[in-house]
Amino acid sequence: MSQAKVRVRFAPSPTGPLHIGGVRTALFNYLFAKKHQGDFILRIEDTDQTRYVEGAENYIIEALNWCNIPYDEGPGKEADCGPYRQSERKHLYKEYAEELISTGNAYYAFDTPETLDAHRKDHEANGKTFIYNWHNREKLTNSLSLSSEEVNQRMEAGEPYVIRFKSPEAETMELKDEIRGNMTIETKILDDKVLFKSDGMPTYHLANIVDDHLMNITHVIRGEEWLPSLALHVLLYRAFNWEAPKFAHLPLILKPQGKGKLSKRDGDKMGFPVFPLEWNDPKTGDVSTGYREEGYFPEAVVNMLAFLGWNEGGGSEKEIYSLEELVQAFSLEHVSKGGSKFDPEKTKWFQHHYLQEAKDETLAEQLTVLLKSKTIDISPEYSLKVVKLLKERASFVSDFWELGFYFFVAPENYDQKAAKKAWKEDTGNLMEELIAELKKINDFSSENLQEQIKGWIKSKEIGFGKVMQPFRLSLVGAMQGPDVFDIASAIGKEETISRFEKAKKEL
């Protein structure tokens, strides 16, 4: 028999911006699908209307597109298994819940939120946790404890009810996870989860299983936080008499210090984004920065995310992977069980690498755009020149400005410490002479400048530093930057001389 086509899904709830961990889940799904010539589906799990956030769905789609991991089927890409938003599928779920009732796998429950809350508080006061399951369901208000007449009466009277799963009392279940291997679980600890709510909507558990089945999902790859739901999900497949997909639960992404789950607060504290794109919270107005807006390339972010819980194995030390290479190399066997520490420095390292790999012309274009936003107009040739001079030191396009603003504007002030060291009493006169020398030079190429100026210094029989340090200070404002003749040549004769005049006046 031929194997079913691999179909995986990423199933976020649109409750806010996609966390970088969610992007990792999407990426691993994408890689797995493409590796096996399968389909990658986006399903929006929006059955919890109270948590719905405007704009979140668009954000998710934009984030996947930015990462170059587009879905094959999903909102806006309708195919046989649509619609792909659960809110548009809500008519489907009730009959499945009813089916479970008719097969004795589920029951109606009329307990009001207030009664359940009282039970919970009661238990808490005694240091216990209230669980609704086999041990007390006969004592609670449901279709197992009430007579069928009473159930009918309550329903006819329009009393609100939910549908709960009837989890088995005493069974040892064998669960299999593609990453974690086999696990056993005693069903007696499970609670009778609500499958269908009184507002007419399914819960996550029911909708998720029904849709995975109807969408022919073969592998469920999701975050570790869903592992506790695995037993229920497997029981649901069994109750429906459906073949269950394979499950793989991805390890947690941990704080840079290694303890606990990575949170937005860690990012705020340490100054790195935890979101792929900037997010404007429609309720609070808060703006959270994203990797895209911070100037990261998607290739760098994807490469970094791939290593959060995966490596090629076999002793491979390769770290730089294109998306295509990741597809080829990826396998669930090499996803680790243990959580993986988030390392913001490593992301920068990847970013530095991908910037070095980027075409100079592309970077020059981006730099021109950036400078335009600062109302600085430069020619494409000049932008390219600066890019070539600074590239090695840059990790972000913005670095060309930060490291090399003096290519575009004269320094506003001078590094005090450097000035003290470099600018001596006789420096002013020396600069005067230097200006006269420069005025004589017509070929302002870096090579010629170097030859002329060094020759001049030699002829004066003074130390190089005496001239070269104030030279740099005048052009840059500090003791930094590439070869000073390269800088002078780039900004040109007129500007170079004007900066000497300015320094002479101010220092």
Shortest Å distance, C-beta 173 to ligand GLU: 18
Q: Find the helix packing angle between 230-240 and 90-102, rounded to 10°.
A: 70
Q: How many helices (H) and strands (E) does the chain have?
A: 20, 13
Q: Which of 8, 12, 255, 489 binds ligand GLU (CB under 6 A)?
A: 12
Q: Which of 6, 7, 8, 13 binds ligand GLU (CB under 6 A)?
A: 13
Residue 48 interacts with ligand GLU (CB under 6 A)? no
Considering only the stretches 8-16, 402-410, 427-435, 439-447, report the one whose residues sit in contact with ligand GLU under the rule CB under 6 A. Answer: 8-16
Considering only the stretches 10-18, 347-355, 473-481, 496-504, report the one whose residues sit in contact with ligand GLU under the rule CB under 6 A. Answer: 10-18
Spatial distance between the Cα atoms of 129 and 447, rounded to a whole number of angstroms: 79
Spatial distance between the Cα atoms of 499 and 471, rounded to a whole number of angstroms: 9
Residue 226 interacts with ligand GLU (CB under 6 A)? yes
Using the 8-state DSSP alphabet, how is residue 19 labeled?
P
Spatial distance between the Cα atoms of 63 and 239, rounded to a whole number of angstroms: 37
Cβ closer to ligand GLU: 46 or 486? 46
Shortest Å distance, C-beta 158 to ligand GLU: 31
Residue type, 233: H
Cβ closer to ligand GLU: 12 or 404? 12
Q: Which of 6, 34, 45, 60 binds ligand GLU (CB under 6 A)?
A: 45
Q: Which residues have a Cβ under 8 Å from the Cβ of 237 and sit 6 or more positions away? A: 209, 213, 243, 244
Cβ closer to ligand GLU: 226 or 307? 226
Residue 405 interacts with ligand GLU (CB under 6 A)? no
Q: Are 364 and 380 in contact (CB under 8 A)?
A: yes
Using CB under 6 A as the binding rule, the residues of this chain from 193 to 222 that contact ligand GLU are: 204, 208, 222
Q: Which residues have a Cβ under 8 Å from the Cβ of 249 and sit 6 or more positions away? A: 177, 179, 180, 222, 223, 224, 226, 227, 230
Shortest Å distance, C-beta 129 to ligand GLU: 24
| CA–centroid distance for 6 within its chain | 25
Backbone conformation region of residue 255, classed left if phi is above 0, alpha if psi is from -120 to 50, else beta:
beta
Residue 85 token pair: 């938003």
Shortest Å distance, C-beta 196 to ligand GLU: 17
User: How many residues sit in the footprint of ligand GLU (CB under 6 A)?
Assistant: 8
Shortest Å distance, C-beta 20 to ligand GLU: 14
Cβ closer to ligand GLU: 263 or 480? 263
Determine the length of the chain: 507
Rg of the Cα atoms in the chain: 32
Cβ closer to ligand GLU: 48 or 192? 48
- Residue positions annotated with a catalytic role: 264
Spatial distance between the Cα atoms of 95 and 106, rounded to a whole number of angstroms: 12
Cβ closer to ligand GLU: 192 or 211? 211
Q: Which of 8, 11, 206, 250 binds ligand GLU (CB under 6 A)?
A: 11
Given the rule CB under 6 A, which residues bind ligand GLU? 11-13, 45, 204, 208, 222, 226
